[in-house]
Structure 1
Amino acid sequence: MKAQQETLQTVQSIIAKQLSIDESAVIPETKFAELGADSLDTVEIMMALEEKFEVSIGEGGAENIATVQDAADLIEKVKAASA
């Protein structure tokens, strides 16, 4: 299931803010590591996403995220499951 454009844009914005980088650098196919994110950054990004979307991703979910698109897709999956 592909995330909606609106979700993807919000995810991109949050990632850019967390990493203090330009939003244009955050494209769906980009891996967090390519953006300079370490494991702590990734945890902080996931926490910010959970807060923004009012969902709980959990440890297991976060481990499967490599790219920006993965994060957006996971948010939508979690939201759908809790709806």
Structure 2
Amino acid sequence: MKNMKNIQNQIKKIISKIMDIKKEEITETANIFTDLQVDSLDIIEIAMAIEEKFNIEIPDTVLEKFNTITFIVEYIQKNKK
């Protein structure tokens, strides 16, 4: 569980930096496309930062499903090397 919280915090930090919003404004269940106004270019930048941070690959087909922090954390946990 601690690892999950750690991943959540790191994801929030990445998104807040790229989107220039406060980390506290990002909830685990917020839809990052509609609630946080992430567009297709932003999601690519976020995905690249996540790939680098967690040493994973994120296929384009998965990117469109990256709609909540919870989904992203679960994806990372399943695919982390």
Please give the TM-score of this superposition, normalised by the length of structure 1.
0.85
Once residues 49 and 29 of structure 1 are traced to their aligned partners in structure 2, the CA distance between those partners, rounded to angstroms, is: 18
Contact 1:11 1:49 in 2 (8 A): yes
List 4+ stretches of structure 1 deviating above 6 A: none
* Equivalent residues, number: 78
Q: CA RMSD in A?
A: 1.3
1:9 equivalent to 2:13? Answer no
| SS of equivalent to 2:42 | helix
Once residues 16 and 26 of structure 2 are traced to their aligned partners in structure 1, the CA distance between those partners, rounded to angstroms, is: 7
Q: Which deviates more from structure 2 when the two are superposed, residues 57-66 or residues 25-34?
A: 57-66
Please give the TM-score of this superposition, normalised by the length of structure 2.
0.87
* Paired letter, 1:76: Q
Matched-pair identity in %: 29
Consecutive unaligned residues of structure 2, counting only runs of 5 or more, are none
* Paired letter, 1:22: K
